[in-house]
A = this chain, B = another copy of it.
Amino acid sequence: MLAHKPLFPTPQDAEAAFYDALARADLEALMAVWAEDEEIVCVLPGGPRLLGYAAVREAWRRVFAGGRRFSITLSHQVNLAGLLFSVHNLYEHLGLPGGDGQTAPVIATNVYLRGALGWRLLAHHASQAPPEMPAEATKTLH
């Protein structure tokens, strides 16, 4: 367990911590981003729906137990924000360090909610994306 629970003043802070923990394969830091007092839900690419802290934690433990480390870059980020919630959608690009291998991109929807102790992750739904990037967001990059 982490000695002190981190506090995320914005949903962007929570998201940055999530992907930083993922890149470092740090299970404790990753789980600290999730909401504590709520049921949480998580879908990993090709996997079943995971419900509740224990199931979500066990799935990520297995992901990290494989020992693979990824570099992660994000793109096409869209944030749909409310006062008490924030829905983020983005593309994750996972790379295997040391190689030029880049896995196919993943589309993720992340839902954050604002609680007494800042923003936390409530839902993460990730699934394989087709190889091509959406044109709408590519436009904004040029």
Contacts and interface: CB of A to CB of B under 8 A. Distances in A.
B137 A51 contact: yes
A39 B107 contact: no
**Identical chains in the assembly:** 2
Name the interface size band of chain A.
35 or more
Nearest to A127: B127
B78 A129 contact: no
Interface of A: 38-41, 43, 45-52, 55, 76, 78, 80, 82-85, 87, 89, 91, 107, 109, 111, 113, 122-123, 125, 127-130, 132-134, 136-137
Q: What are the 9 tightest A-B residue pairs by CB atom distance, in nearest-first order?
A: A127-B127, A109-B125, A85-B85, A48-B134, A125-B125, A41-B89, A51-B136, A87-B123, A49-B107
